[in-house]
Structure 1
Amino acid sequence: MPPAFAGFQLPAPVAAAIDAINAGDGPALLALFAEGALVNDQLREHWGRAAIAEWIASDVVGQRLAMRIARVRNNHCHAVVEATVDGNFERRGLPDPLVVSFYFSAHTEKIDQLLILRNEPSE
């Protein structure tokens, strides 16, 4: 397992997706998604590989998104990755550090669904 994942158990497609995000490798990231997959990034839906390719180009590679894993929770075919994120995006009004939850669903070796949310801390 790569050093970035030391101490964390991640399904293979999730680990590969995080590697691709951190490397800025759009084609490798897109290859991990199933044909009819859904990405919902901050309540914006991207259905299917064509829409996901556009999202990757603009919001992942275009913004030089990088993730540093803080916590992982696995539940059957779902992995919730809480990560500190960085990149070239507008930070006005965002907390520092910016912690985001990535909800991955992978039933095979492909990602079927990815939900990305900035949750409010629980009290």
Structure 2
Amino acid sequence: MANNQFQLPKSVETHFQATNTSDPVAFLSTFSEDAVVIDAGKEYRGKAAIKAWSDRDYFGDHLRLEVTNAVQDALEIVVTAKCDGEYDKTGLPDPLYLDFHFTLDGDKITRLRNVLSSNSRAVPLPQPIAAFYHASDVYDDALLAGCFATDAVLADEGMEYHGPEAVSGHILEANRDAKVTTEITGCTEKNGDTVVTATLSGSFEGSPVPLDFHFTVENGKINALNIVLAGA
């Protein structure tokens, strides 16, 4: 399926187009000679190994990928895609969404890591909110702070945090300490805010807990976030 919504680097765009049009030559051309692919816990180094892997797991299984989201940070671009094909679906979510973590050098892919998506239900999210959850997952301080306006306010557990650095610092410290994982289950608009419902699990009392994240977004930045129990 063509990607008409997200502006992806040419090599990443070609990765998905070549997969969906069964073009292994174009697919392989996107990788550098010493590229590394990590897929299903296995590592493939160099074009010969990547060709053998893709011939089997992409083109042999007639893999089809529908891009549903993309987030860029300082080190990589992460593309979420809905997957289908003739692979063994035993024990896998249905539908299956994967996060494709691309590292680029110029116009070539130097590293690709494929993992189950943290947004496993592929709930559509506005770009700054999608970036918020990605940055929270990978503990990227700069990317997370960059999601917020300079006068942003976070309200969480009766406390307020002001400014991008204070907000991102609180979120990442809490996530690291409790080894938090997030499952996004819904997204609605309410009174001008975007409300994302997610279940958080980790090493904290009451885990797992469903929460509502009330985001106020203006001019592409989050300027207010209120985190409360779901349905409160």
Do the two structures share a fold, i.e. TM-score over 0.5? yes
**Structure 1 counterpart of 2:57, from 56, 59, 74:** 59
Q: Distance in 1 between matches of 2:116 and 2:80?
A: 9
Deviations 1:2-47 (A, max 9, x none): x822221101110011101111111111111000000001111000
Q: Distance in 1 between matches of 2:99 and 2:21?
A: 19
Q: 1:18-97 counterparts in 2 under 5 A?
A: 18-76=16-74, 78-97=76-95
Aligned length: 121
Tell me how far 1:120 sits from its aligned partner: 4.7
Tell me how far 1:114 sits from its aligned partner: 0.5
Q: Distance in 2 between matches of 1:120 and 1:74?
A: 16
Q: Distance in 2 between matches of 1:119 and 1:71?
A: 11
Q: Which has the higher strand share?
A: 2
Specify the SS of the correspondent of 1:27.
helix
Specify the SS of the correspondent of 1:70.
strand
Q: Distance in 2 between matches of 1:72 and 1:32?
A: 18
Is the 1:100–1:118 Cα contact (8 Å) retained in structure 2? yes
Is the 1:65–1:87 Cα contact (8 Å) retained in structure 2? yes
Specify the SS of the correspondent of 1:106.
strand
Question: Could you tell me which residue of structure 1 aligns to residue 152 of structure 2?
Answer: none
Question: Could you tell me which residue of structure 1 aligns to residue 138 of structure 2?
Answer: none
Q: Distance in 1 between matches of 2:118 and 2:76?
A: 21
Residue 97 of structure 1 aligns with an amino acid whose one-letter code is P
Q: Highest CA radius of gyration, 1 or 2?
A: 2
Tell me how far 1:119 sits from its aligned partner: 3.7
Percent of pairs with identical residues: 34
Is the 1:71–1:81 Cα contact (8 Å) retained in structure 2? yes
Is the 2:80–2:117 Cα contact (8 Å) retained in structure 1? no
Residue 57 of structure 2 aligns with an amino acid whose one-letter code is D
Q: Is 1:111 matched with 2:113? A: no
Residue 44 of structure 1 aligns with an amino acid whose one-letter code is K
> Gaps (5+ residues) in structure 2?
120-181, 183-198, 200-232
Residue 90 of structure 1 aligns with an amino acid whose one-letter code is D
Higher RCO, 1 or 2 (CA under 8 Å, sep at least 6)?
A: 1
Bigger Cα displacement from structure 2, 69-78 vs 37-46: 69-78
TM-score, L = length of structure 1: 0.92
Q: Distance in 2 between matches of 1:74 and 1:68?
A: 18
Q: Distance in 2 between matches of 1:38 and 1:53?
A: 11
Q: Distance in 2 between matches of 1:10 and 1:77?
A: 15
Q: Distance in 1 between matches of 2:105 and 2:89?
A: 34
Question: Could you tell me which residue of structure 1 aligns to residue 168 of structure 2?
Answer: none
